[in-house]
Structure 1
Amino acid sequence: MPWVAAPEESVIRRVTAALESPQVSGAVLVGPDGVGKTLLARVAAERFAAPDRPTVVRWVTGTPSARIVPFGAFGRLIRVAEIGRPAALLRAARQSLIDPDSDLLLVVEDAHELDSLSATLVYQLALTGSARLIVTVGPETALPDVVTALWTDNLLTRIDVEPLDLAGTSALLESALGAPLEAATVEEAFRRSHGNPLYLRHLVEGGGVVRTDDGWRCRDDERLSLSGLIDEYLSGVPASARTVLDYLAVAEPLPRADLTALAGERAVAEAEASGAVAHGNMVYAAHPLYIKRVRAALASDRARALHTSVVAQLSKQASDQVSDQLRLAALTAESDTPGTVADVTTAAQQALRLGELVLAERLARSALDRSEGLAAQLVLAYTLAWQGRGREAGAVLAAVTPHTLSDTELMAWALPRAANQFWMLSEPERATTFLQTTRSRVSAPAARATLDALAATFAMNAGTPLRALRIAGEVLAAPHADPVGVGWAASAAALCSARTGRFNDVDALAARAVAGEHPGLLRFTSGFARVTTLVMMGQLRTARSLAQRYTDFAELQQPGRAIGEVLVAYVAIAQGDFDAAVALLGPAADALARTGYSWGPLSLMLLAQALGQQGQQVEAAKALGRAESRHGLKSALFTPELALAKAWSRAARGDATSAVDAAREAVQAAERGGQSAIALRALQDAARLGDTRAVYRAERLCIEVDCVLGRLTLAHARALAAGDSAALADAAADLADAGLHPAAADAAAQAQRAHDVR
């Protein structure tokens, strides 16, 4: 029976308009399962890639079984043969997709099932305009941030694909049945299907609409859900074809040749003929709901046997592709023929390096089920800590017997344990003591240097940047320091240099920090150093652009995206873009609350500052309260920011005197910690709040720290202390020219008041 559920012409035109728009890179189609997103994407792609347009159309599909594998969805479309940093891998993947002689139209089905690197690759293609895209996603529930960012960042036009209305339901059924239907029949079909074309198809093909003497009628049996209808359909699929679906349930997609070797040519042909799978060299189920229902029905023993067979088949041909290797490792872990502990551990380390934490955890646990090897324990601990599961990570590391370890092994174990204690468990004193004790037990210079590098990071976070600079400097000068130690030391030294006013050192230190191969979030520490320096130099537009690049960086999964958004908000507050800052900091603070990192308290401090400057008294007080409750030794570096949060919260409630007191507290806290640049930054806020005594500290600090913001602050403070309306007006103009619009507005208001007094 013919079945044609053609998309509405108006919706097709919206998709093609998005593809042709210079403002966006294409469209994202959002809608429930079975509503027709794939058909709409296919029709729009065919129309866009007309014969007169040199366009290569490529399709990728996200699946649950490929989701845990780096670049799993892109399969044979890209070649990534070496494990490297995610940023380098993404560049290589993007280059392998692009054809310089033609445009690329990439259709991405079920983007909510993409692994993080595949999803990030799609995001980067949209961001850079390297390809036109049509992306489909399922119902908007628990979507990955990198997927929702496709439309929230205005890279793709979001188009909601709606079910059929009553008239559309009638037209589709009459077309399929070849006869007019009575209104009662259409209404009943509509009640059951809610206008879902996939439901209607299975309702008709499953005999749910029958011919009677009075015409076509819906059967009077139980009203099944869509899942129930699909279960009925699957129960009628030939047994051999069902076997094909079983294999796809554990490993979708599979090359047709491999699937044929596993299930037989006849089985694959029957599966294609019955409409259970799609035709092609790479075999997918005809609809993802088929696999979802098949997987739900698989017994664990049956699933394990299927994994074992798939592993045996795929192992016959070795691949140099990273995604193929890790996919095989993941399948092996679920089979009766697990690989060697060494191979599984190596695969876990590769997955960790790529940021695929779920896969890394699964593989590490598989290795540890058979052997208590340190390498697998370390991978598992890192994956747990980076997922915010600090207690579990601590338990894994506590199970290690340290007296049996070599110097290298002891260092490799001590680093994550100390870091986990400091940040995730909020036990900074214990972590520092543990690090010192461990250092006394190692003799290798490289190991000591790496432990010292982490000690420098602890000292920085604990609010002693000058001590951190001394320790980090020794590490960076040591010829035996390894890349891990250099990464930790250089990132800490970069941020400490920025906050103490040693701006000339920042870029070189930041470059050393990001040159290493150490995974994690060190790039944001050095990035904050560069952003801080640019703000102090009065280069706010450049600072905002740089900060934005960190949110667009390789790994958009949390907490990286949230930290990048903190950097953007930091600049936005200085620019007076409070709406943007609040919009970024609210979700970022929520995401960072689960991590234990000092970025979490900082995000709340900045949120309170932004809300206070908006005059939102109640919300600013709430954010301040949350910041105070999370602040401690591990975030002591940001004590000045907490005091400024108090200042602006008090200003929002109209308590000018108390606000000035809090701003002075911020200046004093910064000076006590040697953070001269941050003291100047706090003095600017003090002057804005009306502190006529800010000039004295500003004069002294400007001798020590030479920067645009310092000079502007000093001019503002001098004019305020003198009550000189003309000088205040000049200061306001200079602040505005530098992009410091809130300070400019406050100086202008002070100039007007001084003029009125005269």
Structure 2
Amino acid sequence: MTAGRGATRQRLQSALDTGRGAVLVGAPGVGKTVMARAVARAVANEQSRIATRWVSATGSAKLVPFGAFSHLVEFTGADEPATLLRAAQHALRREADHGLMLVVDDAHHLDTLSATLVHQLALSGSVRLLLTVRDGETCPDAVTALWKDQLLARCDILPFDAEESAAILEQVLGGPVEAVSADRMYGVSQGNPLYLRHLVVAAVETGSLRQAEGVWQLRGEMTLTPELSTLVDEHLRGLAPDVRTVLEFLAIEEPLAVSDLAEMVGLDAVDRAESAGAVTVSDHGGHLVVHAFHPLYTERIRSGLGRLAVRRLRKMLVAQLSAAARTDISGRLRIAGLALDTDDPPEAGDLVALSWEAMRMGDLAFGERLARGALDQTGDLSARLPLAHSLSWQGRGKDADEVLKPVDPDTLSEWDLTAWTLPKAANRFWMLSESREAVSYLADMRARISEPAAFHTLDALAATFAMSSGDPAHAIRVATVVLESPQALDLAVAWAAATATLSSARMGSFDDVEVLARRGLGATHPGLLRFTIGFGQALSSIMAADVDSAVDLARHYAGFSEFQQPGRAIGEVVLGHVLVARGSLDEAATLFRQAAAALTATGYSWGPLALIGLAQALGQQGHSAEAAVALERAISAHGMRSELYAPELALARAWTLAAARDLRGAVAAARDAVHVAEQSGQAAVALRAVQDALRLGDVGAVVAARRINARIDCAAGRSCIEHGQALADQDAAGLDRVSVSLEEAGMLAAAADAAAQAANVHRSAGDRAGEALAKAHAAALSQRCGNPATPALEKVLNPSPLTGREKEVAVMVAQGMTNKAIAAQLSVSVRTVEGHVYKACMKLGLPDRSALATTVR
């Protein structure tokens, strides 16, 4: 082993010995699996009591929830993902009394739940993990997060360099290799071990690589090109027919148990395939399973199989796997997925049931595939419903509507009409941007229902419409009727409780939040409603001055998203807004960017909210141009479906203006946020807006703080009153105390601004010692927040030579306004504006108005 590879191996082993493990990343064929095996063996030899379990992920297994772990963990129920994940963790830990090392090969192929399981195991630290990932492949977010969040060490394994390649050639061939021949082999393989291996095999077989005087020499033209497909084809053509048959089955489904393959092709064929280096056989939880030696083998074979051959192989696999009579949900989903493309697919009823199960486990795409299989057999509503739900939840509103359109509602029973109306109305409200029409449509359909259990379900959706439209009080009234009815079904309870939870939190009815949240979480329902509940719970914690708990809660919900879209992005929006409250602006901006990219093409209200949060985070960081772009996008995306978040949109405008140094406009926008929130009954959100107004220096905000907190009385409201009074009184000591209390509450950015305001008041009073202490506190808090550029912090930590009015005029100049327009907006004379422009240019050493505009921009 040469130095480069040796160093990589040492890093891997060190990560397993001293940490939670590592992820080995490299190009196809670079030797990730070989090194992972070697390191795993070394760790097992050194620590003989530790148990080692192998998981090999594949493209086909990725279609089945927990497909990669099906040989290690059996799932007999159809519980929600969180329950299944806990059961899987427990089952894995139970296997090993003295420690467990889990090796996951080709982790980029993990299905969503398997990837989430690995991520949770890494978080717990109870299992040592070693993963291999193909560089350049799209990875599940849960896998990528392992090294991005520094849970596991990332080790990159690179192709061999020329020296390493020559050393490997000599080792494999058992003798010295001519330097020029080694260089030629390296030039073709570019150091890729798989390329190199195939080049050597082909060259020896053709005689172009031979020994002369004990030295291996390559003569003549190379018989193989560097293209990977050609190399693989050359190797596959040399395999025995029965060995190729083994690979054909693996090309359809991988891995396969030795016993299953033996039944279909014979044990001798499996043995010959292993001896030929075409497959590997490993022990997985006491069962021998077979993988292709390299995924490229099966990928190449799969591309060459005709449609009839694929159907024949699938049919044989279904027959064999069904013989084992697996009753666990993972096994049933695996068989159903294989059977879909055969002459004997599962019955429509079974596919419908399994489609709902797949979606309950968080796999919307697989649920869609199964539902489409059912729809191919029957045009019944029972097949259209899961397909429409899956498409709508994926944000594909038009596709969902097309699936529902052929159904004539006049032919449906009340129950079927209810089931059809739900996705039809919800899809129109959110995904098709027909919110007003959807509200009327839902009311019309509701009038046709007389069965209480049915119309309660429609009323629960109507409550959600009301909340999203900006009327949380009406939403609570409607939801309460549903929740109080003993006839309400679980789905109705889930929608109503989720709506009531968020609405109650935003209105300041904090005592109701946890009760409602538990009611919603206890119902069987689509998992995305959890985020609505979590958003309300997080806001309630923030208003209780417990931001740390809100962050923990939001991270929990982000983890529940199982790293699949759109759940992943929605979880990021919830977490991002909590992080803004704390002041973790860099992380929040990153989350919002990712979420906005995933959601803005859909109709979810979370999409505009992501853009709103992005503008707020960027504005507080002082990135005026980027904040302005995000704000403009948020305004364009905003509508009736996201009217609930109109106060947040006004705050996004406030922080965008603040970043542009338009403090007067920023304060006005913050006051507008307070007004909009109060008008819609969102008292808690109004207090959040008051706090931002105070951070921007609005001395009159204390009046609003007293008025609002008199209605809902909470820790955050009392803090706003204290902050506002100290600011109005220019009470430096009071502002010092406010900063400390905000820091203790976890609101670090607000605490930094309060400390900066205290420093400014100390300076005005001539208290240099107090100023220095407050300034140091502001600087420390600012650093913990990633050094934002709010007006208060800028004034103290990065003071400008311009006065407030000079800065304000300079910003307007940079915005392209004429002196006359500036004078009109500020209610001063044009001569006064000219004087401010002149003084600003002199202080900044600029020659003219144009240079001032350029500098400020």
| Interval of TM-score (by shorter of Structure 1 and Structure 2) | over 0.9
- Partner deviation per Cα, 1:216-274 (whole Å, 9 max, x = no partner): 10541452312211111101111121111111111222222221222233433332232
Name the counterpart of 2:512: 505
Partner residue, 1:330: 337
2:482 aligned to which of 459, 475, 483: 475
Deviations 1:79-125 (A, max 9, x none): 11011111111111111111362211000001111111111111111
Give matches, 1:470-549, under 5 Å.
470-549=477-556
Contact 1:86/1:554 (CA < 8 Å) preserved in 2?
no
Out of 167, 170, 175, the residue aligned to residue 174 of structure 1 is 170
Tell me the alpha carbon deviations over residues 253-304 of structure 1, each in whole angstroms, 9 at most, x when there is no partner.
2222221222233433332232212235222112111101100111111111
Distance in 2, Cα, partners of 1:756 & 1:291: 73
Residue 330 of structure 1 contacts residue 363 of structure 1 at CA under 8 Å; is this kept in 2?
A: yes
Cα-to-partner distance string for 1:42-64 (whole Å, 9 max, x where unaligned): 11111212354421100011111
* Paired residues for 1:307-326 under 5 Å: 307-326=314-333
- Give the corresponding residue for 1:87: 82
Say whether the 8 Å CA contact 2:140–2:563 is kept in structure 1.
Answer: no
Give the direction of change, closer, same or farther, for the CA distance of 1:724–1:97 in structure 2 (3 Å limit): closer
Secondary structure at 1:594 match in 2: coil
Partner of 2:237: 235
Unaligned ranges ≥5, structure 1: none
- In structure 1, the residue matched to 2:394 is 387
8 Å CA contact 1:390, 1:424 repeated in 2: yes
Partner of 1:418: 425
Match for 1:483: what amino acid? D
Indicate how the Cα distance of structure 1 residues 739 and 257 shifts in structure 2: closer, same or farther if over 3 A, else same. Answer: closer
**Shift of residue 344 of structure 1?**
2.1
Report the CA distance between 1:188 and its aligned residue.
0.8
Corresponding letter in the other structure for 2:262: T
1: distance between equivalents of 2:550 and 2:267?
60
CA distance in 2, matches of 1:568, 1:201: 48
Rounded to whole Å, the distance in 1 between the matches of 2:92 and 2:601 is 36
Contact 1:90 1:554 in 2 (8 A): no
* 2:308 aligned with 1:301: yes
The equivalent residue for 1:16 is 13
Q: Relative contact order, CA 8 A, sep 6+: which one is greater?
A: 1
Distance 1:39 1:470, change over 3 A: same
Choose from 221, 224, 234 the match for 2:226. Answer: 224
Partner of 1:210 in structure 2?
A: 209
**Matched residues in 2 for 1:645 and 1:153: separation?**
28
Q: 1:311, 1:335 within 8 Å by CA — same for their partners in 2?
A: no
Give the stretch that moved more between structures: 481-490 or 362-371. 362-371
Residues 205 and 738 of structure 1, relative CA distance in 2, 3 Å threshold = same
Aligned length: 753
Residue 151 (str. 1) matches residue 147 (str. 2): yes
Tell me which moved more, 655-664 or 239-248. Answer: 239-248
Mapped contact 2:561–2:567 kept (Cα < 8 A): no
Structural RMSD (CA): 1.8
Residue 18 of structure 1: how far off its partner (Å): 0.9
Please state whether the residue corresponding to 2:617 is helix, strand or coil.
helix
1:594 CA drift (Å)? 3.0
Q: Distance in 1 between matches of 2:180 and 2:6?
A: 28
Asked if 1 retains the 8 angstrom alpha-carbon contact of 2:108 and 2:137, the reply is: no
C-alpha change, 1:247 and 1:689, in structure 2 (3 Å) is: same
Residue aligned with 1:35, SS:
coil
- Give the equivalent residue in structure 2 for 1:564: 571
Asked if structure 1 preserves the Cα contact closer than 8 Å seen for 2:623 and 2:659, the reply is yes
For structure 2, list consecutive stretches of 5 or more residues without a partner in the other structure. Answer: 283-287, 766-857
Q: Indicate yes or no: 2:442 matched with 1:435.
A: yes
- How many angstroms apart in 1 are the aligned matches of 2:384 and 2:740? 59
CA change 1:660–1:225 in 2 (3 A) is: same
For the structure 1 residues 75 and 724, does the alpha-carbon distance in structure 2 shift closer, same or farther, using more than 3 Å as the test? closer
Query: CA offset at residue 751 of structure 1?
Result: 3.5
| SS in structure 2 at match of 1:647 | helix
**1:167-222 residue CA offsets vs partner (Å, 9 max, x unmatched):** 11101111222222222111111111111111111111112652275851054145
Give percent identity, aligned residues only. Answer: 49
2:582–2:749 contact (8 Å) kept in structure 1: yes
What are the residue-to-residue correspondences of 1:605-684 with 2, within 5 Å?
A: 605-684=612-691
Superposed counterparts of 1:245-260, under 5 Å: 245-260=247-262
Change beyond 3 A, Cα 1:608–1:164: same
- 2:366 and 2:646 mapped to 1: Cα distance? 38
1:757, CA displacement in angstroms?
4.6
What corresponds to 1:363 in structure 2?
370
Q: Is the 8 A contact 1:163 1:195 kept in 2?
A: yes
1:522, distance to aligned residue in structure 2 (A): 0.9
Q: Which amino acid in structure 2 is aligned with residue 211 of structure 1? A: R
Q: Distance in 2 between matches of 1:578 and 1:352?
A: 34
1:206 match: secondary structure: helix
Alpha-carbon distance in 1 for matches of 2:117, 2:747: 36
Whichever of the two has the greater Rg, that structure is 2
Alignment partner of 1:278: what SS? strand
The amino acid of 2:196's aligned partner reads L
Q: Give SS of 1:98's match.
A: helix
After TM superposition, give the deviation of residue 567 of structure 1 in Å: 2.4
User: Is residue 2:337 matched to residue 1:341?
Assistant: no
**For the structure 1 residues 734 and 382, does the alpha-carbon distance in structure 2 shift closer, same or farther, using more than 3 Å as the test?**
same
2:114 pairs with one of 109, 112, 118? 118
Whether the 8 Å contact between 2:615 and 2:631 is mirrored in structure 1 is: yes
SS at match of 2:102: strand
SS of aligned partner of 1:393: helix
Please give the TM-score of this superposition, normalised by the length of structure 2. Answer: 0.85
Distance 1:6 1:107, change over 3 A: farther
TM-score (norm. length: structure 1): 0.96
1:379 shift after superposition: 1.1
Matching residue of 1:161: 157
Matched residue, 2:36: 41
Q: Distance in 1 between matches of 2:42 and 2:81?
A: 35
1:68 matches 2:63: yes
Question: What do residues 500-525 of structure 1 show as CA deviations (whole Å, max 9, x unaligned)?
Answer: 01111101111111111112311111
